[in-house]
C-alpha cells in the first residue's frame, strides 16, 4: 500500500506510544484519532503528508484518515498561531457578553474569525459550547487551558501575558 517513502514523523519512544494506542482497541483503525492527536501535539497541525503517514502506520487507506481529520473540528488542517484562541460564543456565553469579548480580541489583534496575525503569534476562532457555561464568557487556548469568567480587562491582561511569554 505504501506509495511513497516519507521521513518518519515519530521517533522511537513515540512509536512505543503508538503501539500502546493500537493495543487499546480490537482493530488498528480505532487508533487513528489518538495518532492524529499525537501529530497535532508534536507539529501543531496536521498536514496531508502526516495523514498519509498515519494511514501507513495503521495500514488503512489515506483517504480514510483525511475523512476523519476533516470531520472533527479540533484537528487543525492548516497552521494556526502559536496561541490559538478559541472563544465560545454559544448561548450561555452570548448571554454573558461572549460576543463582546470576541469582538474585542478580534479588533485588538486585527484579525477576523479563523485569521492569524502576521507575526504568527495569535490566531482566533469562534467555537461552539465548551461546557463552561456557569463561568461564561470563556476562551480556550490551543485546545488546552480554559480561561473563564472573562472581562475586557482580564482579556487584555491575558493577551499581554501571552505576548510577554513569547
The CB-of-37 to another protein minimum distance in angstroms stands at 6
DSSP string, 96-116: TTHHHHHHHHHHHHT--TT-B
> Phi-psi category of 134—alpha, beta or left, where left has phi over 0 and alpha has psi -120 to 50?
alpha
Rounded CA separation 73/127 (Å): 9
Alpha-helical runs (H) found in the chain: 12-23, 32-43, 48-58, 62-71, 91-95, 98-109, 152-165
The CB-of-160 to another protein minimum distance in angstroms stands at 24
Residue (2 or 24) nearer to another protein, CB: 24
Residue (58 or 159) nearer to another protein, CB: 58
Residue (30 or 160) nearer to another protein, CB: 30
The CB-of-115 to another protein minimum distance in angstroms stands at 18
In sequence order, the 6+-apart residues with CB closer than 8 A to the CB of 147 are: 138, 139, 140, 141, 154, 158
Residue (63 or 156) nearer to another protein, CB: 63
Residue (21 or 82) nearer to another protein, CB: 21
Binding footprint of another protein on the chain (CB under 8 A): 24-27, 29-34, 36-37, 58, 60, 64, 67-68, 71-75, 89-92, 94-96, 128-136, 140, 143-146
Other CB atoms closer than 10 Å to residue 150's CB: what's the count? 24
The CB-of-118 to another protein minimum distance in angstroms stands at 27
The CB-of-150 to another protein minimum distance in angstroms stands at 14
Amino acid at each position: 500500500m505504501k506509495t511513497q517513502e516519507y521521513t518518519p514523523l515519530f521517533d522511537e519512544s513515540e512509536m512505543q506510544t503508538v503501539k500502546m494506542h493500537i493495543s487499546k482497541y480490537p482493530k488498528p483503525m480505532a487508533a487513528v484519532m489518538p495518532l492524529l492527536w499525537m501529530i497535532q501535539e508534536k507539529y501543531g497541525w496536521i498536514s496531508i503528508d502526516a495523514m498519509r503517514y498515519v494511514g501507513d502506520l495503521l495500514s488503512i487507506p489515506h483517504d480514510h484518515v483525511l475523512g476523519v481529520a476533516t470531520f472533527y473540528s479540533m484537528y487543525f488542517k492548516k497552521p494556526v498561531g502559536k496561541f490559538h484562541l478559541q472563544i465560545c460564543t454559544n448561548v450561555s456565553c452570548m448571554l454573558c457578553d461572549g460576543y463582546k469579548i470576541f469582538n474585542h480580541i478580534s479588533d485588538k489583534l486585527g484579525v477576523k474569525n479563523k485569521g492569524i496575525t502576521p507575526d504568527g503569534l495569535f490566531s482566533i476562532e469562534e467555537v461552539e459550547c465548551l461546557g463552561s457555561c456557569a463561568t461564561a464568557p470563556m476562551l480556550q487556548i490551543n485546545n488546552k487551558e480554559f480561561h473563564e469568567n472573562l472581562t475586557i480587562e482580564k482579556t487584555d491582561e491575558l493577551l499581554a501575558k501571552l505576548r510577554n511569554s513569547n
